[in-house]
Structure 1
Amino acid sequence: MRPMRFIDCHAHLVPPHVALDDIAAAVEACAKEHVYVIAVTESVSEWPTLQQLWNHGAVNRGATNSEAIGTPRNLGSPTHNHYHAQVALCGGVHPVQPNEAYTEAALNQSPNDIPSTLPKVRAVRIDECTSAWSQALPTQLPNHPEWVGIGEVGLDYSPHVLRLAGPEPSKAAQRQVFVQQIQLAQRCQLPLNVHSRQAGRYALDLIETHYGSIPSGQAAGASTLHAIPVLLHAFDGKPSVVRRGLALGCYFSIPPAVAFDPTFQRLAQLVPLDRLVLESDTPALGPVPQQPNTPTSVKSSAEHIAQVKGLTLAQVADATTRNALRLFPRLRALWPWANDYDL
């Protein structure tokens, strides 16, 4: 009898979001509890770090983007063995980026000396996806099956984000960068892992434009075999927007914060089981507010779904694992056990 397996479809298991020592502990815990992780990035600078972790279980701070790509080399460390066995990679550019001025100030000044007016983050720039490395990505990806998707990408229309560059310039830049990455995903035939805080319907507008409209005769909200390779992570849209996403064929992921957040509780009720997957959003959105989160907490997401839908935990684990394998087809080549599941 095969064990219950859980796939965390969205986690930030890379510095600076999680310290290296904590990453080592997290992947070891995942190995013990049969939890498998899709690690996402928010910026181009995180891509080589993620690749190094997957290749070697360590990070060479001086490595360039091109040097980070290479044949996996087992250094004999538990971090490498577990990271390589438990984690798949997903590269993207988030609509909110670290503010380099704040980062530099934090390195050279005490926290009390950093001006309170200096924001920690900035809105994405239009040129964010035009680096030589990202342009080379379509030729690199076919040789690196560990990269299973494009993300975290999308839109963030939170008021504090739009204030950073002004509402209209910020929205325009976000849309352009998102479209660039939709097109990249389509060229590479990879799924999208989408962030859409306070921008769900606008993200769906772009998704519909590039992936096609609702099939004729399909009722909004109906669960059918029609599906597109798009995951809407931690979706906060209204029920009508959720139903539109379902009709378009999107999948939705439920974070452990469903334990207390009514938005995610409603999402778990609205979305049929065949469109649900699990996510931790490590280190955020854990089951306890304001506490650090880890990938193994996706079990609590599955437990909530089971309770809401009147199912057993085993049924939810099986269904969400199958859904994740459908959504991220490369996982079947990366994780041999995935072939135990008929899709």
Structure 2
Amino acid sequence: MDYGFVDCHCHISAREFDEDLEDVIQRTREAGVTTLVAVTEDVSEFPRVLQLQERHPDLLAPCFGIHPLQAGGGPGDPGSRSVKPQDLDAALPLFYEHADRLVAVGEIGLDFTPWCAPTQQDRDDQLSVFVRQLDVAKQLDLPVNVHSRSAAAVTIETMRQQGTSRALLHNFAGKPSVALEAVKAGYFLSFPPAVCRSSQRDKLIRRIPLEHICLETDAPALGIDPSVRNEPCNIHLPCRHIAALKGLSAEHVRVVTSQNAYRLFPKADRCR
């Protein structure tokens, strides 16, 4: 069976794509991407990602999720704040209402970066929101698409405690020993184009079995150049980088990572 690329974690509903979205989609298809797993960060994105799926049902695989970081407190505050339990209130009914269209719950997780979660209360609130969404995923029999910055070990242990069996740890940057704990739990790890400029993750990627690796872009973020908008068509960049590190062909990495993706997100297979 022929496998195109699967972008396992992409913010295609982000406002950065508003002005030329159809051109971005066209470039995505031309790059050989057959499935875009589209994550959300807050409830305002839920309708947008469903509308995109309606326009591109053979490409878009939608997820709903509330990110551990939310937009700043109001006008004049462009920064992020740690998520609060009430941020989830409006979202919860929508998970169940649109469950048949979702391929995963995400982007969810933990971000304990000191300037994003400076207090214990912030970390407790993130954990509460994370656990509630893990429970939703379990109820709906969906995998989770997970953010774990400065919190990889806690994130993995929380999922294990909650009985989460299917998870993608996106843009994983934890220690190799922690990554292997994720592998032992049966989870997958994905890497965006930015890994091509991060030699510290080369050792990590070499240690993780290819059977537990997926590809992502995290577009519009995490491209080769931080000052340039990233797009899903750049999915070939982490593929080639991983192939070079493992001494494999890029084609082999593409096929195996896509097989991994459809195993993790079985409902996304309908996009092909």
Same fold (TM over 0.5): yes
Contact 2:6 2:36 in 1 (8 A): yes
Counterpart amino acid of residue 84 in structure 2 = R
Match of 1:200 among 152, 170, 188: 152
Which residue does the alignment assign to 1:148? 103
Instruction: Write the deviation string for residues 17-69 of structure 1: whole angstroms up to 9, x where unpaired.
Output: x23233221111112222121111000111011112222xxxxxxxxxxxxxx
Larger radius of gyration: 1
Which residue does the alignment assign to 2:63? 90
Q: Which whole-Å CA distance do the structure 1 matches of 2:169 and 2:225 have between them?
A: 22
Query: Where do 1:1-343 residues align within 5 Å?
Result: 2=2, 5-16=4-15, 18-35=16-33, 36-55=35-54, 80=55, 83-102=56-75, 105=76, 118=77, 120-131=79-90, 133-142=91-100, 144=101, 147-163=102-118, 167-211=119-163, 228-332=165-269, 334-335=270-271, 337=272
Q: Which whole-Å CA distance do the structure 2 matches of 1:303 and 1:121 have between them?
A: 33
Counterpart amino acid of residue 33 in structure 1 = A
Identity of aligned residues (%): 33
Q: Which whole-Å CA distance do the structure 1 matches of 2:249 and 2:258 have between them?
A: 14
Contact 1:50 1:89 in 2 (8 A): yes
Q: Which whole-Å CA distance do the structure 1 matches of 2:95 and 2:78 have between them?
A: 31
Which residue does the alignment assign to 1:218? none
Could you list the structure 1 runs, at least 4 aligned residues long, displaced by more than 4 angstroms after superposition. none
Cα drift, residue 324 of structure 1:
0.2
What TM-score results when the alignment is normalised by the length of structure 1? Answer: 0.75
- Single out whichever of 29-38 and 251-260 deviates more from structure 2: 29-38
Q: Which whole-Å CA distance do the structure 2 matches of 1:240 and 1:125 have between them?
A: 31
Question: Gaps (5+ residues) in structure 2?
Answer: none
Instruction: Write the deviation string for residues 46-99 of structure 1: whole angstroms up to 9, x where unpaired.
Output: 1011112222xxxxxxxxxxxxxxxxxxxxxxxx3xx33222111100000012
Counterpart amino acid of residue 129 in structure 1 = L
What TM-score results when the alignment is normalised by the length of structure 2? Answer: 0.94
Cα drift, residue 128 of structure 1:
1.6
Q: Which whole-Å CA distance do the structure 1 matches of 2:226 and 2:32 have between them?
A: 25
Counterpart amino acid of residue 21 in structure 2 = I
Question: Gaps (5+ residues) in structure 1?
Answer: 56-79, 106-117, 213-227, 338-343
Counterpart amino acid of residue 211 in structure 1 = G
